[in-house]
Chain A
Amino acid sequence: MAMDAMAVIKQTFFQECEEQLAELEMGLLAIENGDHDQEIVNAVFRAVHSIKGGAGAFSLDDLVHFAHIFENTLDLMRSNRLQPTPEVVKTMLRAADVLADLVRAARDDGDFDDARTEALAQELAALGNGGVAVSAAQEKEEEVDLSQFRPRPIAFNFDEEPAAPAEPEKKTFSIRFKPKPDLYAKANEAALLLREIERLGVATITCDTSELPLLSELDPEGAYLAWTVELKTDADEATIREVFEFVEWDCDLEIKGDAASEAEELDVLALIRKVREAVEPEAASVSPEESVPAKAREPEDRGPVKSADILKIDQSKIDQSKADHAASGPQQTTSRVDRDRLDRLSELVGELVINQAMLAPRVTEAGLARGSDVTVGLDELEQLTRGIQDSVMAIRAQPVKSVFQRMPRLVREVAAMTGKSVRLFTEGENTEVDKTVIERLADPLTHMIRNAIDHGLEKPEKRLAAGKPEEGLVRLSAAHRSGRIVIEVADDGAGIDRTRVRASAVNKGLISADAQLSDDEIDNLIFLPGFSTAEKVSDISGRGVGMDVVKRSIQALGGRISITSKPGQGSVFTLSLPLTLAVLDGMVVTVAGQTLVVPLTAIVETLQPKGADVHGFGGGARVIAIRNMFTPLIDVGRELGYRNEAADPLTGVALLVESEGSMRSALLVDAIQGQRQVVIKSLEANYRHVHGIAAATILGDGRVALILDVDAVVANSRADMTAYLEPNLALAG
């Protein structure tokens, strides 16, 4: 039974490790940034100490070993014997990475980099030595010291009594025990100690009351009694001393044995071994390393056979938890709620919002005046409903911290690979956003940060030449802005080299050589598919993965990405994302009698087509001139098959949209009904994917409205158009 419980605790331990690792890294980064608050140093020390403690309990020796060295160095820092210079903190940050690797290796039964671990262990030890490399002799000493930390395996087995000591021959000891007042002040009890002595054998106890004063002189906190015990036992003196372990400073203690035990007394090591044997019957008299029986190393194996099934289930839970961890990183949860239940709750609240919205016009239709009890009640219902919706969204919300926390390590690694010196500055990590958004944010952010260091920041010599500090700065920040989360990745590098970007785009045929582009338009070329400014494919920014991929993944989240750049001063990438994926800001439009929703993030602007701007080509294809740029005009009704003949553009409205690859198109719809937030409903759940449609939603009237898949409609239409118009119209980016 205990073994199942241990498996669960082990799972808890690894979760806790992730929290401690995050704490450790955050603390070290704060110290690096010059925060000398003692409490931060303490927290950092505590994090490593806790990991060591737990690891010891599970006999994770490699982890204990490294954590111990790390802890020692941190202890020096804690006691001001080691100054947190930038070099020291950088080493510690790298040590934190190694520690994280060791934790994960232990968790996943995986491998870790032995050489790297050993190298850092030595670096840490050297820090403690005032930077002097550890000599062979010292190292040896350290090893001996460390051996104490090879933890004893814990046998959580309460059914087995420790086996009787090997030598049952009885000896007689004479014990004199006189407590001092301190003994009682520390809540020790003479009577309990004597009871323990009695358990060791046959004891004759005499109480010496000779020092007891008159009642009037008696100090209630004083200690006046002494005891003499004649003990006939097969235990040795060490065992007896162990009874008084807690009180040896707070009492006078004399133990006299017979001749046989006196001889033995000299052999302290033998004594210790015997004590060990008494406590751990399985531990043979060999070195502590070897004494660990194989089966005790793996406590799982000791569970009764009948619990195998339970163990299996537990293991799968652990695996699941691992998977969750891998996906979402460390998390700080105070209560665990099944994800399905939460999804169901959000869904129901979505229904509630829709139903409530449906009710309002019905009440008006029923002829009830505003201000009547019913409408007032309805207003209250609306407020409550919104309140519930906000609360449910808050439950699903998590701070972006879990993603931000992965970045310092990334920065260190990329900095090391590129030979650049980088400091990462993060802010707003407590900004909350839906968990599903967070999960899908890690990859694009990783790529953007890599990019900022690899392409954005200059090499140290260039920075110095430009009069900048050698160390480059990358700032990662998050904030809520008008119902969305805005994340910025900024660097103080050289900024976009517009001449080079432009030349590269021309080379790759993305723009014509004589295209007139504003600075902003040039900057945005980097989001075009197939664009890469790196002259050689770099290991860091990945192969063939460009900013277009980042842009697409952000758009898939209903977000937008933009860039501003100043030559010589750096670039800022700004992401704006919805707070949840369950709702979408949409523009509700009418097309051929149908109501459709167009995601607002795709729409750049809306305009009323004028006759002179629309030009027709064969096959019904048309373009519209918007500020002298010919843009394909796509009739949504015809594209979706709602009508065969294209609608008259002059009676409709054009939505200028930006789709995949920054292509701009104009979508022709019949009318705009308005903007609203809609709850996204899957079409696939009960039907299947429909080309040109992203999902469905339910509007206030209870009818289903389809949400347009702008990318798909544009791509489809362009394919048709290209077939017709290839020779006539070259569609520049």
Chain B
Amino acid sequence: MTEITRNVSGREIIAFRIGAQEFCVDIMSVREIRGWTPATALPQSPGFVRGVINLRGAVLPIVDLAARLGFPPAEPTARHVIIVAQIGTQVVGLLVDAVSDILTVTDDIVQPTPDVASEMAKTFVRGVLAVEGRMISLIALDNLLPAQEREAA
């Protein structure tokens, strides 16, 4: 478990890998990074919701980011990482392969999502960053969780 110290002087992002691709989120949204622990499956939930885990007493849903972005679902092992992120009023765990970097970037290096990207990617990717020859996709956290279920009659 690593606590991230926040640095407000620049815009910091935390980069992580899913398969061969690199993604990132704004570090201001990240609460902590922790290892994988088995989740309790939730009935009637989409495949990308791995279940819920106990985060110091809070019930934390785990989103398999690979599955959410349209890749094959992860086969989580102890080496997998959960990025605990704040999305609005909720706290959610994002299952990723590994954290690759913490970078300070400026807004001007963020480019629009290329047209070639899939619809799925367009929904969740806010833009792409070119850093030292790598392409890192900036994830928009807002839409990751499934919409609130309407109370069924």
> Which residues of A line the B interface, CB within 8 A?
347-348, 350-351, 354, 594-595, 640-642, 681-683, 685-693, 696, 698, 702-706
**Contact across chains for A688 and B41 when beta carbons are under 8 A apart:** no
Whose C-beta in chain B lies nearest to the C-beta of A348?
B57
Q: Are A689 and B149 in contact (CB under 8 A)?
A: yes
Interface assignment of B143: CB less than 8 Å from any CB of chain A: no
Q: Which residues of B contact A704 (CB under 8 A)?
A: 39-40, 51-54, 59
By a CB distance below 8 angstroms, the chain B residues around A698 are 54, 57, 59
Whether B56 and A351, one on each chain, are in contact in the complex, defined by CB atoms closer than 8 angstroms, is yes
Interface centre among B39, B40, B44, B56 (most CB of A within 10 A): B40
Contact between B152 and A685, CB atoms less than 8 A apart = no
With the chains together, A641 CA to B49 CA distance in Å?
A: 14
- Chain B residues whose CB sits within 8 angstroms of the CB of A689 once the complex forms: 148-149, 151
Cβ contacts under 8 Å, A354 to chain B: 57
A686 partner, pick from B38, B40, B44, B58, beta carbons under 8 A: B58
Quote the shortest CB–CB distance from B59 to chain A (angstroms): 5
B146 contacts chain A at the CB level, 8 A cutoff: yes
Q: Could you tell me how many residues of chain B have their Cβ less than 8 Å away from some Cβ of chain A?
A: 28
Which one of B45, B54, B58, B149 has the highest number of Cβ atoms from chain A below 10 Å of its Cβ? B54
CB contacts (< 8 Å) of A682 on chain B: these are 59
Query: Which of chain A's residues has its CB closest to B43's CB?
Result: A640
Instruction: Tell whether, in the assembled complex, residue A688 and residue B149 are in contact, meaning their CB atoms are under 8 Å apart.
Output: yes
Residue in A688, A689, A692, A706 with the greatest tally of chain B CB atoms within 10 Å = A688
Chain A residues in 8 Å Cβ range of B42 = 683, 687, 690, 693, 706
Which B residues touch A687, using CB under 8 A?
Answer: 42, 49, 52, 59, 61, 90, 145
Q: How far is the CB of B6 from chain A (nearest CB, A)?
A: 21
Residues from chain B with Cβ under 8 Å of A640 in the complex = 43-44
A692, B92: Cα distance in complex, Å = 22
**Residue pair A706, B61 in contact (C-beta under 8 Å):** no
Question: Known contacts being A685-B90, A686-B91, A703-B38, is A691 close to B44, with CB within 8 Å?
Answer: yes
A595 to B61 CA separation, bound complex (whole angstroms): 17
Further pairs besides A686-B91, A696-B59: 7, Cβ < 8 Å: A351-B56, A683-B59, A688-B148, A688-B149, A691-B43, A693-B43, A704-B51
| Minimum CB distance partner of A686 in chain B | B90
On chain A, the residues within 8 Å of B146 by CB distance are: 688
Task: Check if B60 is an interface residue, CB within 8 A of chain A.
Answer: yes
Once the chains are docked, how many angstroms separate the CA of A686 from the CA of B94? 13
* Chain A residues, CB < 8 A from B49: 687
Q: Is the CB of B52 within 8 A of A696?
A: yes
A686-B58, A698-B54, A703-B54 are contacts. A691–B149 as well, Cβ < 8 Å?
yes
A681-B59, A685-B59 given; A692·B43 CB < 8 A: yes
Which of A642, A687, A692 has most B Cβ within 10 Å? A687
Residue of B nearest to A696 (CB): B59
Q: Could you tell me the distance in whole angstroms from the C-beta of B104 to the nearest C-beta in chain A?
A: 29
Shortest Cβ distance from B90 into A: residue: A686
Known contacts being A686-B92, A687-B52, A691-B152, is A681 close to B58, with CB within 8 Å?
yes
Closest beta carbon of chain B to A15's beta carbon, Å:
33
A698 to B40, CA, bound (A): 11
The reply to whether A642 and B59 form a contact with Cβ atoms under 8 Å apart is no
Residue of B nearest to A692 (CB): B43
A447 to B57, CA, bound (A): 38
**In the complex, what distance in Å separates the CA atom of A693 from the CA atom of B40?**
13
Flag if B61 contacts A686 (CB, 8 Å): yes
Shortest B52–chain A CB gap in Å is: 5
User: Shortest beta-carbon distance, B108 to chain A, in Å?
Assistant: 34
Identify the closest chain A residue to B92 (Cβ).
Answer: A686
Of all chain A residues, which has the CB nearest B53?
A704
Q: List 6 A–B pairs whose Cβ atoms lie within 8 Å, in order of A's numbering.
A: A681-B57, A686-B58, A686-B90, A690-B149, A691-B44, A704-B39
